[in-house]
Amino acid sequence: MLKNQSLLTFLDECKSLSQLKQIHAQLIATGLTQFPPFASRILSFTATSNSCDIEYSYKFFLQLSSPTIFNYNTIIRGYSNSRNPNKGICVFVDMLRNGVDPDYLTYPFVVKALARLSEFEVGLGVHCRIMKTGFLSDKFVGNSLIHLYGSCGKVKCARKVFEGMIDKNRVSWNCMLDGYAKCGDVVSAREVFEVMPERDVVSWSSLIDGYVKKGEYSEALAVFERMQVLGVKGNEVTLVSVLCACAHMGALEKGRTMNMYIIENGLPLTLVLRTSLVDMYAKCGAIEDALAVFRGVLGRQTDVLIWNAMIGGFATHGFDKESFDMFTEMKIAGVTPDEITYLCMLSACAHGGLVKEAWCFFEILGKDGLKPKTEHYACMVDVLARAGQVDEAYQFLCQMPMQPTASMLGALLSGCINNRKLDLAEIVGKWLIELEPDHDGRYVGLSNVYAVIKRWEEARAMREVMEKRGVKKSPGYSFVEIFGTLHKFIAHDKTHAMSEQIYMMLSILLEQMTSNADSVTDASLCGPEYVSACFQNLI
């Protein structure tokens, strides 16, 4: 009995998987592995602790002659957090077959696994079983169902469960908010957010992420600023979303501020955050800053994501040589390239006009056991089109094992126009309109082709077709960051708070450029210092 108690104490104080295995060996030698307290502790350590080894845990579980409900729940929970959540569902099915009745702790783990798999139909079946067994009143079970339906894009089902819950807690509201945000319904997400009885960092992060996924980056930043004013401290999830918004808007100064926010608030600079910083700096054009963050990562050799962010940053800004060097360095470090890596390399080839190298990477992709996806084919079309090989690009596109996408045809159309292959441009332009009849840019693109070859009637006809189909041209816009503040500008827009001064500035510049076009000898009159001085005088 004393020896048993000592072994239990060792299990409770166990710190690593290697120690656990030594104790496990002792239990096998003494025949105590089937004793419930030992079995439960071994399963809990190997399936749910930081030293988690779910496969080891499952092998041990299979050796139990009469596993308890606690044992089943432990294994299902472990798999629901693992890379193979489907195996958790299989254990649940075996549990039912063996006549072990699930309890209120079983269903949240099962439903979590289904949510990760986006298994809506199976989820409905489990939901029915939950209702029959009377566990729907449990708030943890209800919350897991809201999360499941939200993850599957079935927000109406999620809302029905939410409305039917008598005992809602903060997690219930967060799950409902997150469900709307994931589905892109930021209006409903905002409505839920504003009426929540209490909010936490998860609530704010979900709303910010929803705006980012919807492409409403300025609104995402506005929510974060409101969050700061109210004194709510962001976490890793919050900052990743905010940095993503900064990256898409090119808001470099705002991104630098976020970098300082991470440091000043003592947030751990995790690999995920460092990757987001590299991506933000690279997309904002601050390649040296991106490289500095990249070089500061300890253990980066084991993670492909941060390498992809750095290689992609070089590629986007035309540093094809640096992309190639980084790719070589990555392989020397023992990091295996993935599909995104090759996509970045193909992008580098496109910007550098390196057709031969692009074909080489495209072939290596298949040899490395990675199947080329639509994006890789689109990149190859872009490589060929940019290099002026539009006929080859068209042939490649026609021989693909999948239907061409709009991005492929768009890249080919640009190549045709730039290289004056206007007959082919007309074919591709019509193809694009068939593929995306509601996209304004497709009609404008073909209209521009007709205008270049002076077929005015066809150009006008394209505009008329747009009107008949109710397709309106979306106005283009741009963001300008001044002293850390983002300003959005649309053509002929006068909604900006300083639009009167801006148009006055443009008028002065136009007058100066016209009057001094032939006589200006002082280059400073055309420089940014002169423009800045004029603008400062206006404000």
**What 3-state class would DSSP assign to 455?**
coil
Q: What is the dihedral of CA 89, 94, 95, 100, to 10 degrees?
A: 160
CB-based contact 20:46 (threshold 8 Å): yes
Q: Which two tokens stand for residue 470?
A: 């109710």
Identify the pLDDT of residue 440: 64
Identify the pLDDT of residue 202: 96
CB-based contact 183:213 (threshold 8 Å): no
For residue 99, what are the CA distances in angstroms to 102, 135, 136, 265? 9, 18, 21, 52
The DSSP symbol for 478 reads E
Identify the pLDDT of residue 242: 97
For residue 375, what are the CA distances in angstroms to 197, 406, 515? 44, 11, 50
Superfamily of domain 373-479: Tetratricopeptide repeat domain (1.25.40.10)
The DSSP symbol for 480 reads E
Identify the pLDDT of residue 420: 80
CA distance 196 to 189: 11
Identify the pLDDT of residue 424: 81
Identify the pLDDT of residue 401: 86
CB-based contact 65:34 (threshold 8 Å): yes
Identify the pLDDT of residue 467: 63
Q: Which two tokens stand for residue 416?
A: 């045709």
pTM of this structure = 0.75
CA distance 384 to 57: 52
CA distance 262 to 257: 9
Identify the pLDDT of residue 456: 74
Identify the pLDDT of residue 497: 72
DSSP per residue over 273-307, as a string?
A: HHHHHHHHHHHTT-HHHHHHHHHT-TTGGG-HHHH
**What 3-state class would DSSP assign to 334?**
coil
Identify the pLDDT of residue 524: 47
Q: Which two tokens stand for residue 108?
A: 């949240």
359-368 CB contacts, 8 Å cutoff, 24+ apart: 365/339, 368/336, 368/337
- pLDDT (tens place) for every residue of the chain, 539 residues total: 434 555 555 555 565 666 566 666 666 656 555 555 666 666 666 666 555 678 878 888 888 888 889 889 999 998 998 888 999 999 999 999 999 999 999 999 999 999 999 999 999 999 999 999 999 989 999 999 999 999 999 999 999 999 999 889 999 999 999 999 999 999 999 999 999 999 999 999 999 999 999 999 999 999 999 999 999 999 999 999 999 999 998 889 999 999 999 999 999 988 899 999 999 999 999 999 999 999 887 555 568 999 999 999 999 998 999 999 999 999 988 898 999 999 999 999 998 889 999 999 998 887 777 888 889 998 998 899 888 898 898 888 888 888 888 888 888 888 887 778 777 877 777 777 777 766 666 767 677 777 766 677 777 776 766 666 655 555 556 666 665 566 666 766 677 777 777 778 878 888 877 776 555 445 444 444 544 544 444 44
CA distance 7 to 31: 13
Residue count (the chain): 539
**What 3-state class would DSSP assign to 486?**
strand
Tell me the angle at which helices 69-80 and 36-48 cross, rounded to the nearest 10 degrees: 10
Identify the pLDDT of residue 298: 59
Residues 6 or more apart whose CB falls under 8 angstroms from that of 90 comprise: none
DSSP per residue over 192-258, as a string?
A: HHHH-S---HHHHHHHHHHHHHHT-HHHHHHHHHHHHHTTPPP-HHHHHHHHHHHHHHT-HHHHHHH
**What 3-state class would DSSP assign to 398?**
helix
CA distance 244 to 237: 11
